[in-house]
Amino acid sequence: MNFNLTHRPRRIRNNPSLRELVKEQQLNHNDLVLPVFIADQADVPQNIESMPEVFRWPINLITSKIKECQDLGINTFAIFPHIDPSKRDSQGTEFLNPDSLAYQAAKEIKHSNKEVTLIGDLALDPYTSHGHDGIINNDKIVNNDATVKILAQGAILAAESGYDLVAPSDMMDGRINVIRNNLDKNNFQNTGILAYSAKFSSAYYGPFRDAIGSKQKNIIDKSTYQLSPSNFREAKRELELDFNEGADILMIKPAEPYLDVISYAKNNFNIPIAAFQVSGEYSRIWAAHLNGWLDLDACANESILSIKRAGADFILSYFAERIAKTF
């Protein structure tokens, strides 16, 4: 039986080449940024149990690892340090040490390859003994303005070390304006700011805290500065504030649980929009794969494709290296 149908959408799905012809989104190397963990006092890559195939890289191997990824077509890297616990304190003072691990790594990488793009994380949680992203008051609340002052100082150290973009991931009020002014005042007008503008107080950050060694015995409550997962209007406000304060790129984190926020940002701000597919998003796919429930590569690709389709111009993902190998 044949129906008299005017519209048959399946006509353009009849064979693989036709499906490719009408494909609306396709991933490429320029969509991907690889987050890279670096380790203090290490000579070999350190395995991260909660993040399969992700390692902390020692300084002596970081340049060769970056080159290996560049050969796959990945040219942008976000650097995250695992600071030796003996160097952490309540004030995060190691963050302002110009010879600290993250600054050393940038100098090493840029010395061997000036073409690579480096993103430097601006947050105190890798450096504090308590695991929070800032300085804690006597009432155990993160002190906004004191933290911003330190982040602005760290932005200068990052720029001096060779980072092309500094990425404040702390969610303190007003920090984009202060960091921008401090960079400009110190003749770093060309150092950009990738703002973690809509960073949610998410349950998906656990494996990352394993990776940088900031995990505490009790779950760290960061809800006084990170966004509530229920609040869309508040996310829009944060995006607008960072845009107005001079951010060069706005980022949403996590990514897949907040595709609506990514879409809103893409449609309302005429600057690049980034998204961070965080450690928990990565590890849940891996866990399902290891249990035989899901196909690892197919799910990784579909997840990242959904983030791009929502509007992200580029995506920070621990799957970047694996996916780049398929292009």
So which residues are the catalytic ones?
199, 253
Tell me: cis bond preceding 254? Omega within 30 of 0 counts. Answer: yes
End-to-end CA distance of the chain: 43
Evaluate whether 168 touches 222 at the Cβ level (below 8 Å).
no
The Cα–Cα gap between 99 and 81 comes to 13
Evaluate whether 166 touches 194 at the Cβ level (below 8 Å).
yes
Strand partners, 47: 55
The Cα–Cα gap between 161 and 123 comes to 16
Other beta carbons less than 10 A from residue 140's beta carbon: 10
Q: Collapsing DSSP states into helix, strand and coil, what is residue 8? A: coil
The Cα–Cα gap between 286 and 138 comes to 41
Structural tokens at position 189: 């007008």
Question: Per-residue b/e over 165-204, b at no fewer than 16 CB within 10 Å?
Answer: bbbbbbbbeebbbbbbebbeeeebeebbbbbbbbbbbbeb
Residue linked to tokens 């993250």: 102
Distances (CA, A) of 223 to 8, 142, 205, 233, 256: 49, 11, 13, 16, 20
**In sequence order, what are the residues at sequence separation of 6 or more whose Cβ sits closer than 8 angstroms to the Cβ of residue 231?**
none
